[in-house]
Structure 1
Amino acid sequence: MGTVLIVDGSDVCRAPIMEFALQKQFAGEGPLAEQTVISRGLETPGQNLICDLAAGRLGASMRAATFSVSHRSRSLTVEDAEQADLILTAERVHRSAVVRTSPIARGRTFTLKEALVLTSVLTDEVRTGRSPRPTSLVETVALLDEVRGSIPLIEPPMHTSVFHRDRALPSADPLALVDGHEDAALHRHATDEAYQVALTLGSRLVDLTEDHVARIGSTPNDWWWRQHA
């Protein structure tokens, strides 16, 4: 049994969505079924409810309703970071904050989108025999950290003038999930993207440890198939 820690700014929107989606993908009898998934915020006083739009994005199932009414935001602690086997953040600034909180967590900390890219790379490595197939989350995370050093780092665009300060800018970083609370359309996009990316990552992590690597990446809608299976 291990722990996956999700971190964003306030733990009321992106982080709980990611938490719920990963819990959903890990559920069952697979090798990751016993993983605990929790979420934390960097800028929250704690005990805040999940935002209405995020709650609606989780669906109308009893599981979603129970999660929504029971979720309360919690602040990240050093113990949270040090004890987690995998840490996923919404943005790079959150990733940096986690590492400042616990430097020893660096090799276990990724943005959600970064982890998705690296999982795809690791899948190819396993498929071709260049990397061993991981049998646990701990092994998977260690391999993801190794793969991270073998591919070019995707840099966000630089802010070179005041004309770059537009509402679309946060989504320009390919490894970040935009917050979007300042704009209704961006907020809807943020909740949709957080849910779908987390579902896809969860599916690929499960399939990777279950040795179903031949199927991973066969369709861009992996998240849809597991969601409706």
Structure 2
Amino acid sequence: MSTVLIVDGSDVCRGPIVEFALRKQLAGDSPLADVAVESRGLGTDGGRPICDLAAGRLGGSARAAAFSDMHRSTRLTHFEANEADLILTAERAHRSAVARLAPHARARSFTLKEALVLATVLADEVRTGRTRRPRSLAETVELLHEVRGAIPLIEPPMNTNVFHRDRALPKADPLALIDGHEDAPLHRHATDEAYQVALTLGSRLVDLVEDKLARIDATPNDWWWRQHA
């Protein structure tokens, strides 16, 4: 089974939010439905529950409640980093820490926003035939690594409620998901952004692997699908 690891500092906020949202996007009849998604922390002793604000961001469904009740922070291990097919970190500092822990995982490690930018560009190139369509998560990761450095990494726009209108974001790495625990409005922004980035990235990863045209009959009634695939 293929595995995606979400890595942040404490695995109580950004990590579990992204884990839940990414699982949601890959589930169902997606070609990546069999991919396991887990979150891990670099600076946790383990056993801590998800923070209240993060739990609230997951929504009020029974599935979200069960996830929040069961989640406990877990420290990333050398073995897990080496075995994961894809590692997505909240910040570049976390990506560097993963590389120190497991040097062989460097080519499979990206910040979440970095992966989102690369996957968005690749999805368009695959759709227009300029790049081959990957058939698995492993092939997708190889493509992401191939284009790393060749695509300008500009922060993907994520409008998260009134925060953007009322306050200026602190200066930070544009490809990092900020923590925000030191400030309540910033923390709300951080949880919203983590959720939206995860949902969008999950959709892009599915778009890369799934050939929508192959799932429908080539008849005149399929015109709309061909235009929007």
Fold-level match, TM-score > 0.5? yes
> For the residues of structure 1 that align with 2:153 and 2:18, how far apart are their CA atoms?
23
Residue in structure 2 matched with residue 110 of structure 1 by the alignment: 110
Summarize deviations over 1:178-213 as a string: whole Å, max 9, x none: 000000000000000000110000011112211249
Q: TM-score, normalised by structure 1?
A: 0.84
**Which residue matches 2:127?**
127
Larger radius of gyration: 2
In structure 2, the residue matched to 1:37 is 37
- Structure 2 residue 188 is the aligned partner of structure 1 residue 188: yes
Pairing of 1:6-45 with structure 2 (within 5 A) = 6-45=6-45
| Paired residues for 1:76-225 under 5 Å | 76-152=76-152, 168-169=169-170, 172-212=172-212
- Distance in 1 (alpha carbons) for counterparts of 2:174 and 2:169: 12
User: Are 1:92 and 1:176, in contact at CA under 8 Å, matched by a contact in 2?
Assistant: yes
Q: Which residues of structure 1 form unaligned runs of 5+?
A: 156-166, 219-229
Q: Are the equivalent residues in 2 in contact too, given 1:26–1:32 (CA < 8 A)?
A: yes
For the residues of structure 2 that align with 1:13 and 1:59, how far apart are their CA atoms?
14
Could you tell me how far apart the structure 2 residues matched to 1:38 and 1:105 are? 16
Contact 2:117 2:153 in 1 (8 A): no
Please list the CA deviations of residues 97-144 of structure 1 after superposition, one character each: whole Å capped at 9, or x if unmatched. Answer: 001111111111000000000001111221232210011100000001
Query: Does the aligned pair in 2 maintain the 1:14–1:54 contact within 8 Å?
Result: yes
- Whether contact under 8 Å (1:121, 1:147) holds in the other structure is no
Aligned to 1:222: none
Unaligned runs of 5+ in 2: 156-167, 214-223
CA distance in 2, matches of 1:80, 1:39: 11
Q: CA deviation at 1:30?
A: 1.8
CA contact (8 A) 1:31 1:209 kept: yes
Output the aligned Cα RMSD: 1.9
Report if aligned partners of 1:7, 1:89 keep a CA contact under 8 Å in 2: yes
Q: Aligned partners of 1:107 and 1:212: how far apart in 2?
A: 29
8 Å contact from structure 1 (residues 135, 209) kept in 2: yes
Measured in 2, the distance between the counterparts of 1:32 and 1:168 equals 34
CA contact (8 A) 1:81 1:102 kept: yes
- For the 8 Å contact 1:85–1:137, the answer to whether it is kept is yes
Identical aligned pairs, as a percentage? 72
Report SS of the residue matched to 1:6. Answer: strand
The separation in 2 between residues aligned to 1:153 and 1:34, in whole angstroms, is 29
One-letter code aligned to 1:63: R
Runs of 4+ displaced beyond 6 Å: none
Question: Following TM superposition, by how much is the alpha carbon of 1:168 offset from its aligned partner in structure 2, in angstroms?
Answer: 4.0
Aligned equivalents of 2:207, 2:121: Cα separation in 1? 14
Q: Which amino acid aligns with 1:92?
A: R
How many pairs does the alignment contain? Answer: 204
Q: If the length of structure 2 is used for normalisation, what is the TM-score? A: 0.84
Secondary structure at the aligned position of 2:119 is classed as: helix
Task: Please name the residue that 1:73 is paired with.
Answer: 73
CA distance in 1, matches of 2:173, 2:98: 19
How far did 1:150 drift?
Answer: 1.3
